[in-house]
Chains A and B, each alone.
Chain A
Amino acid sequence: MRRTVLALGWLWLGLFLLAPLAIVVTIALSAAGEGMPPYVPPLQWSGGGLKIAVDPGPFQLVLTDPLYRHALAISLRIAFVATLGCLAIGYPMALAIARMPERRRNLLLLLVMLPFWTGFLMRINAWIGLLNDAGWIPRAIAALGLAAAPPRILYTDTAMYLGLVYAYLPFMVLPLYANLSRQDPVLREAASDLGAGPLRAFLTVTLPLSLPGVAAGCALVFIPSVGEYVIPELLGGPGAETIGRTLWSEFFDNRDWPTACALATVVLVLLLGVPALALRAARGRAA
């Protein structure tokens, strides 16, 4: 029984993770070519023998051309800011929900997850409607006297960050809530009993014990944010040349599949490092 379940897991990983990865790496090692698909496979039968033609060019290009390093730096910065934003809003939310009476918590969690039930693009389009120059938010800012005229928000970093924090907030709230709601409330009572006011009890007991949840939430927001394509494309300005947008243009505009695949592989290797570090940090805390 156990073996069957394990085998299913491996089969799943093999089919949907390892096989696509192998294909991507194979394309990354190919030379660009004409036709469809637009590359020359590195292993070919020709004239009765196996011809191996590995082209290290795409990887060299991706690792050396400052264009890609620049895109990666932009993506990491954007993901970092978005993660901080989610943490700043998500932690108080998770804490507040975890400390509600039990019967109210489920409703609030439902509200956190409710946006997932409608289409993602529809919700981003709604943001475009809210943020464009004639939208409610710039007009409200002007009406409140915070700016002389409705400010330009759409197609700026502000709009992009708003969209990212909005879209990824549940990924921060849920693991934090899971951690905070499992904390034994008697520990806070003990801290209070021993003379710690609410702030000190939070800083010395609740916060340190919640760090594994913080690590999980940050990883869940940071990793997909790095590769995010849709939100920077639809809400961000032209300056936000992220890895996601670079990939898109290599793939669809330049039809340079090997370079696109090499870039995807490099980003994947980098991003696997992040959760590994986060996991190690979480384990270190738990011990």
Chain B
Amino acid sequence: MGTLQGRALTALLRVEGLTVRYGAGTGAAVSGLDLTVAAGELFVLLGASGSGKTTLLRAVAGFVRPDAGRIVLDGADLSDVPPYRRPVNTMFQSYALFPHMTVAQNVAFGLRGMDRAARAARVASMLDLVSMAGFAARRPSQLSGGQQQRVALARSLAPNPRLLLLDEPLSALDRGLREQTREEIVALQRRVGTAFIVVTHDQQEALAMASRIGVMRDGRLAQVGTPAEVYERPASRFVAEFLGAANVLPARLLEASGQGTVTEVLGVPLRAAVPAPAEGVAVLAIRPERVRLLPAGAALEPNRLAGTLEGSTYEGDRLIHAVRLADGTAMRVSAPLSDGLQGARLPPGTGVVLELPPEACMVLAE
């Protein structure tokens, strides 16, 4: 799916320069946003609350009117199309099942214009798809949260939309059910082939589900890319810290070329296998699981920093070491428990050397 980015792709949805304000004088919830989603994609919009991701979703569904910009689906501008004429369906965060209708009536609601037999068949096949075939005659109030979630999914998919919007589809579920449902949604999306846009604030969910992730911040997309791209090559310090944990060190740029970058961190030269950012003050970031912990005696070559172990936290499958560098900077090192010294428990106060491999170093704009 990495080929999707930046190429001429079969765009299903194009959002161009979208700006949405709630009321005059307030800041824009979405400002000048551009986004392209391809047919068959599972696109995840990831952001903190207030980042504008739900507003973007509601603008695509037609519930909020853009102040500027266009939303184009299959080449047709949707700006003046009301929600009930858009070939787009939404699965609402609260599911929004009609409490006075049965499960079957809920799923059939979007199936107008079909004859009775075709509609009944479609309802049956949708309920089958989400393993709710035996519940057709129940009311939503007689279902568990997980069952309601499935009915909401079946209802939103029943009219066979060009694009399905899912607003925090897992947030109302128990933790245990969430992971299983996440996999089911991905499997379902593969099976039906409909493009999904999923809104979430959960980075783990985003990484696990997405074919591409759009990270949102302050009404704009901070980065768009595959999960691996966004995690391993974050475009900014914000993205690096929002998606997963990151150690961030102040860095002075010494040398930059197409092949790599050399920075100086605490007087030690650090080579990174990536180009430097075009502008802005650079910082060096590295994921805790990519830092290697060496004994105190290890030679202080480039890409190695000396520090003191302050303590270790046991997390079952790994240890999280807290290390303080000479200048006081705190670093986290995540080490799998099977891994020699990396995983061994050391007494607090032990001197250690941290190795930051060049291929793991990210040079980012502050």
Contact A195 B100 (CB under 8 A): no
Contact A184 B84 (CB under 8 A): no
- Residues on A with C-beta less than 8 A from B156 are 193-194
Q: Is B162 an interface residue (CB 8 A)?
A: no
Contact with A along B82-111 (1 / 0, CB 8 A): 111100111010101111100000000110
CA–CA, A192 and B83, complex, Å: 6
CA–CA, A84 and B271, complex, Å: 82
How many residues of chain B have a CB within 8 Å of chain A? 23
Q: How distant is A222 from chain B, measured CB to nearest CB, in Å?
A: 24
Q: How distant is A200 from chain B, measured CB to nearest CB, in Å?
A: 8
Majority secondary structure, B binding face: loop
Q: How distant is B305 from chain A, measured CB to nearest CB, in Å?
A: 52
Majority secondary structure, A binding face: helix
Q: Is B287 an interface residue (CB 8 A)?
A: no
CA–CA, A201 and B98, complex, Å: 11
**Contact for B82 among A186, A187, A192, A285, CB less than 8 A:** A192
Q: Is A209 an interface residue (CB 8 A)?
A: yes
Q: How distant is B73 from chain A, measured CB to nearest CB, in Å?
A: 14
Q: Is A267 an interface residue (CB 8 A)?
A: no
CA–CA, A196 and B89, complex, Å: 12
- Residues on A with C-beta less than 8 A from B71 are none
Q: Is B61 an interface residue (CB 8 A)?
A: yes
- Residues on A with C-beta less than 8 A from B63 are 189, 192
Q: Is A249 an interface residue (CB 8 A)?
A: no
Contact B61 A193 (CB under 8 A): yes
* A194: nearest chain-B partner, CB-CB: B110
Contact A184 B159 (CB under 8 A): no
Q: Is B155 an interface residue (CB 8 A)?
A: yes
- Residues on B with C-beta less than 8 A from A204 are 98, 109
Residue numbers of A with Cβ under 8 A of B are 184, 186-187, 189-197, 201, 204-205, 208-209, 285
What would 5 more interface pairs be, CB under 8 Å, given A187-B98, A190-B92, A192-B82? Answer: A193-B83, A193-B89, A195-B110, A197-B82, A209-B100
Residue numbers of B with Cβ under 8 A of A are 61-63, 82-85, 88-90, 92, 94, 96-100, 109-110, 112, 155-156, 159
